[in-house]
Amino acid sequence: MNTNKPKSAPLGKLAIGALILTSVFAWQRMAYSAEEAVSIAAPKMDIPAGSSHSAQAVFSGGCFWGVQGVFEHVRGVTQVVSGYSGGAASTADYETVSTGETGHAESVQITYDPTKVSYGQLLQVFFSVAHNPTELNYQGPDHGSQYRSAIFPLNDQQRQVAAAYIEQLNKAHAFSVPIVTKLEPFKGFYRAEDYHQDFLVHNPDHPYIRINDLPKIQYLQHLLPADYQQNPVLVAGVSPQV
C-alpha cells in the first residue's frame, strides 16, 4: 500500500498526540478481542496429504500486508508471496491495480508442505483469522474490488474443498451474515513489488500494521495454537525496509 492511503496516518492526526493514537489502538484491540471468542470448525472435507511435500494456494482477503503476515506464521507454510490475481499480466502493478478496474485482487500465493498442514487448515486460517469473509469488496478501511474476498483454486480438489467449506460455515451460521467469498478462475499470480513483501515483519510500527494486522497474529496464536509458529517464513531476496 502506498503512503497516500488510509494505511498511513495523516501527519496532522499524528501531531494531535499519543493519547488519541493510543485510544485508537485500544479500541481496535477490543474489537479483535471480542472476535477471539468466536471459533469456526475445521472443514469436514479436506485434501489428503499424499506424498508431495510442496503445494500452493492463492487467496485474496483485503490488503495483502496482513494476509501475508498471518500465513507466514502458519506451521507447515514454507513461503508466502504478496501479489495480484484475477486480471491480466499487463495490469499487475500496484498503481494500476489500485484503480479497482483491472480485475485483480491483492492476493497471496502460499507454498506449503501438505504433510504438515492441509489445504483445509489453510482455509480455516483464512476464514477465521486472516480476514472477514462477510465484507463485500472491502476489508476494514480498504474499499474496492481489489480488496475482495476470493479464493483462486489451482485444481478441482481445492475447488471442491473450498466450496464445501463455505457451504458448511454458512449452514452452521458461523458468521452473523452470509459469507461473500467467491471462488474465481485462476488466471495467474503476479508477484507484487519488493517493497510490499514481508511488509508486516519489516514495519511493525507502521500505524496501519499496528491497528489492523498485528492483532491478527495474536488471533492465530490464541485461536489456532497448533497451527502457529513463532518465527515467520520470509520471502527470499527481499531486504528489510529502512
Catalytic residues, by residue number, are 63
Distance CA 209, CA 67 (A): 11
- What the block records as the C-alpha cell of 225 is 495454537
Q: Are strands 182-183 and 149-151 parallel, antiparallel or unpaired?
A: parallel
Q: Using the 8-state DSSP alphabet, how is residue 7 labeled?
A: T
Cell 486460517 appears where?
Answer: 125
CA–CA separation, 160 vs 122, rounded Å?
14
Q: Which stretches of the chain are assigned E, i.e. beta strand? A: 55-61, 77-85, 105-112, 138-139, 142-143, 149-151, 182-183, 189-191
